[in-house]
Amino acid sequence: MTILDHIRKHTAAGDKHIYTLILTPRTSTLISQVLEEEGVLGEITILPYNLQFIPLEDDVISLEHENAFKEIWLDGDETALYNSAQALLTLQRLYGLFPRILGKGEHAERLARLLIRLNSQQITTPGLPVSQGVSEKIDSLIIVERRADMVTPMLTQLTYEGLIDELVGVSNTYVELPANIVSPPSQANTSEIQQNLLASYELNTQLTHLEDLVAEGADRRTILRMMVLASVVSGGIKVKQLESLKRVFLQTYGYELLPTLLSLESLQLLQSNPLPPSQAHLPSMKLPFTALRKQLRLLIEESEGGTDAMPNDISYVYSGYAPLSIRLVQCVAQMNAVLASFNASDSGKGKGKGKDVSQASEMPKMNAHPIVGWKGFEDVINTIPGPTIDITQTGIESKAQGPSLFPKEQSTTTVVFFLGGCTFTEITAIRWMAKRTRGRRFMIATTGVVSGNSLIESLLPAAKPKTAKVAGGSS
């Protein structure tokens, strides 16, 4: 029943009620207009409820905006961007200004600029403190734009929570198990193809295997994820191969999925190499993955990464692949771990490789270093598409320069905000960082928890509602 149905039913019955409509995160002029046209606006009190961040766990807060990625990058709707700025603004009002705001990407920059502008325009709200000094509890805000790393969510998650999300789906921290649950399909074939794509190993062979999976009737979401992964890591797929793959996909799963393929092309997640003339004029979002794989050591030998019980690097969460998004966070908040990763690789080339790995597994926690921006990684960061953000806030009432410049004995907190969503596996990787760092905690904030499946599903055509059969009607 809709709101109007309830009111009309009560009116017809002669019942009198007080109607209150609570909208989150704010009231809508459009809804008021519809209610006015229906002649019931005067009977309803409309109130806003600015819910903002919802705590999912002690170190995870989320706006639970499920379709933020599609709305921002495909639809051009920046409502999620504004809601994110408002939520981060509330954190600043409670704990003080973020001493430093860092990020990568066009929309990450827009979010940072919007946050600063809203902060300068904010009006005092009764009961809510307004702190214009630099925070002594938070050392920085790192904005991770989902579009800057589309490799990670396309991979099959291998952590406990991640696997549950992959196989069953997690929504608002809850799982709904079907009554007729059966054994999940094997992930062996897809995992092998993914690892080979990450290593740029025989791309043509992997695409052939992908066509075989289509012929076997694999989940269409899995196929689309693999197509995106192949395109992103290789800088595009050869024209003939891509056209063949698209044709086989549509013939198998239906031509109603053509808009989905067009959406992926519009997002530059499914590209041919070279680009067609119609796309040549667009700003390139091509990720230099092959170079980044070497510069940031995104692929690590399993022997160098330690074991699941005692890992040495964040790459353990994907059995040898370090999520690019989390490597970027490490470049800012855990530089020592990135450098240690390089040193481990160099030492591993010697005879004492096994001994070195064992010693690395028992290494003590690293002391938190001051937040100095992208220092030491500027050249690498600049190769990733989009502007690089590094903004220092001083505050008008600040007497100190903040914990990022003058670290104190007490621990500080680094807020990592994922614009467009983060995966459970990325959360696990950040928690590993927190365990290995002394003097710095991490608060994970996000527009929502996503997976490759949920991102692809947001681009699929909406399911048509089933039409109820009418008794006595023709079949």
Total residues found in the chain within this entry: 475
Cα angle 203, 208, 213 (rounded to 5 degrees) comes to: 120
- 370 φ/ψ angles, rounded to the nearest 5 degrees: -60, 150
Which DSSP string do the residues of 106-153 spell out, in sequence order?
Answer: HHHHHHHHHHHHHHHH----TTS----BBPSSEEEEEEEEGGG--HHH
Could you tell me the CA-to-CA distances from 118 to 51, 84, 121, 396, 416 in Å, in that order?
A: 18, 11, 5, 15, 20
CA 118/CA 68 separation, integer angstroms: 20
Please report the pLDDT score of residue 184 as a whole number: 60
- pLDDT of 129: 59
CA distance 94 to 87: 11
- Which residues touch 161 (CB under 8 Å, ≥6 apart)? 170, 424, 427, 428
150 residue type, one letter: M
Residue 473's pLDDT is 44
Q: What is the pLDDT of residue 169?
A: 85
d(CA 322, CA 340): 14
What is residue 444's predicted lDDT score, i.e. its pLDDT?
A: 98
Residue 399 confidence (pLDDT): 43
Please list, in sequence order, all residues whose beta carbon lies within 8 angstroms of the beta carbon of residue 469, skipping any fewer than 6 positions away.
Answer: none
Question: Kind and range of the H or E element at 45?
Answer: strand 44-48
What is the mean pLDDT for each group of 10 consecutive residues in the chain (475 residues)? 80 86 86 86 87 94 95 95 96 94 97 94 64 87 97 94 87 79 65 94 93 92 96 95 95 96 95 82 87 94 67 90 96 86 56 39 74 94 96 68 52 96 96 93 97 96 60 42
Res 128: pLDDT: 59
- Rounded to two decimals, the pTM is 0.86
Do the beta carbons of residue 282 and residue 268 sit within 8 Å? yes
Quote the tokens at residue 255.
């031509």
